[in-house]
Amino acid sequence: MTASATGPLERGTRTSRTTVRIVVAVALVWTLVPLGWMFLSSVKPTAAVTSATPDVWFAPTLDNYRQLFSGANNLWPYLNNSLVAAGTSALLATALGALGGYGLSRTRMRGKHHLSFWIISTRMAPAAVVVLPLFLIFRYAGLIDTLPGLVLAYLSFDLPFAIWLLHAFFAQVPPALEESAQVAGCTPWQAFRHVILPLTRPGLVTTFVLCLVFSWNDYAFALVLSGPHTQTLPLAAGQLVTQTGIDWGQLTAIGTVVVVPMMLVGLAVRRWLVTGLTMGAVTGE
At 243 the three-state DSSP class reads: coil
Whole-number pLDDT of residue 7 = 60
Whether residue 162 is predicted with pLDDT greater than 60 in this model: the reply is yes
Shared domain for 49 and 89, answered yes or no, is no
Task: Mention every residue, 6+ apart, whose C-beta is less than 8 A from residue 13.
Answer: none
Q: What is the pLDDT of residues 64-95, one digit of tens each?
A: 888 888 866 688 899 999 999 999 999 999 99
Shared domain for 6 and 122, answered yes or no, is no
Shared domain for 143 and 211, answered yes or no, is yes
Domain-embedded: residue 95: yes
> Domain ends where: 45, 64, 83?
64
Shared domain for 191 and 228, answered yes or no, is yes
Query: What's the mean pLDDT in 148-173?
Result: 90
Whether residue 20 is predicted with pLDDT greater than 90 in this model: the reply is no
Q: What is the pLDDT of residues 211-266, one digit of tens each?
A: 999 999 999 899 999 988 899 998 888 777 766 777 788 888 888 988 888 888 88
Shared domain for 59 and 79, answered yes or no, is no
Whole-number pLDDT of residue 145 = 93
Shared domain for 30 and 157, answered yes or no, is no
Q: Do the Cβ atoms of 254 and 75 come closer than 8 Å?
A: yes
| Phi and psi at residue 59, to the nearest 5° | -85, 110
Q: Do the Cβ atoms of 197 and 98 come closer than 8 Å?
A: yes
> Domain ends where: 21, 36, 64?
64
Shared domain for 8 and 98, answered yes or no, is no
Amino acid at 231: Q
> Domain ends where: 16, 40, 64?
64
What total of structural domains would you count in the chain? 2
Domain-embedded: residue 229: yes
Domain-embedded: residue 233: yes
Domain-embedded: residue 69: no
Residues of the domain holding 140:
75-279
| Phi and psi at residue 76, to the nearest 5° | -60, -45
Domain-embedded: residue 285: no
The answer for 284, left when phi > 0, alpha when psi is -120 to 50, beta otherwise, is left
Whole-number pLDDT of residue 148 = 94
Domain-embedded: residue 266: yes
Q: What is the CATH number of the domain that holds 171?
A: 1.10.3720.10
Shared domain for 49 and 108, answered yes or no, is no
At 41 the three-state DSSP class reads: helix
Shared domain for 50 and 108, answered yes or no, is no
Shared domain for 25 and 129, answered yes or no, is no
Q: Say what the pTM is.
A: 0.83
Q: Do the Cβ atoms of 41 and 248 come closer than 8 Å?
A: yes
Shared domain for 253 and 183, answered yes or no, is yes
Q: How far apart are CA 168 and CA 44, in angstroms?
A: 47
Whole-number pLDDT of residue 169 = 87
* Nearest CA-CA partner of 264 in 212, 190, 221: 212
Task: Tell me the pLDDT of the chain averaged across its residues.
Answer: 83
Amino acid at 51: S
